[in-house]
Amino acid sequence: MTQAAIIAPVHKTVTVNVSQARAFEVYTANIDRWWPRSHHLGKTPMTGSSIEPRIGGRWIVTHEDGSETVPGVIKVWDPPRRLVHSWDISAAWTPDATVASEVEINFIAEGPDRTRVELEHRNFERMGPEGGRSMREAVNGDGGWAAILEQFRKEADAA
């Protein structure tokens, strides 16, 4: 029996100056206000992004041509503490739920108006060794989760 080699998860953390509940709300209900417009899978520019607030809910991205893409599906919905969604994106940056990795976001209250947000992107090995390493490198790089969480931090702190 052959077992796929585990590819290390990506871990990123950001602290925001809002309550735990508000941080969760900004991340989920307000994703359209902070998710980078350049980060989408559509054939035309992105016009919006939303998360259906429930287990099984979709993260939906809309595009100028009226099409929709679904980068992920909600696996854990535990406001205001935790959110887990699939990352239904292949290493070729196309929608593909058959090689889905997973993103977990934990919202940890550090006070009434301060929350640490810890993100883990894992299960890259589902994309195969080459694809998994390529995706891990991309989301761990300069334009990946650190930059995306910085956009989230700016929106949360402005809330």
The CATH number of residue 26's host domain is 3.30.530.20
Task: Tally the residues of the chain.
Answer: 159
Beta pairing class for 82-87 and 101-111? antiparallel
Domain that holds residue 115: 10-158
5 in any annotated domain: no
Give the chain's mean pLDDT: 95
Greater model confidence, 1 or 80: 80
CB under 8 Å to 35, separation ≥6 — which residues?
A: 49, 148, 151
pLDDT of residue 3: 58
At 50-78, the pLDDT tens digits run 999 999 999 999 999 999 999 999 999 99
Cis geometry, peptide bond prior to residue 71 (ω within 30 degrees of 0): no
Considering its fold, how many domains does the chain have in total?
1
* pLDDT at residue 1 is higher than 60: no
Greater model confidence, 82 or 1: 82
Full-model pTM:
0.94
Q: DSSP string of 77-136?
A: EETTTEEEEEE-B-TTSSB-GGG-EEEEEEEEEEETTEEEEEEEEE-GGGG-HHHHHHHH
3 in any annotated domain: no
Query: What CA–CA distance (Å, rounded) separates 150 from 34?
Result: 9
Q: What is the mean pLDDT of residues 87-97?
A: 95
23 in any annotated domain: yes
| 65 token code pair | 């041509």
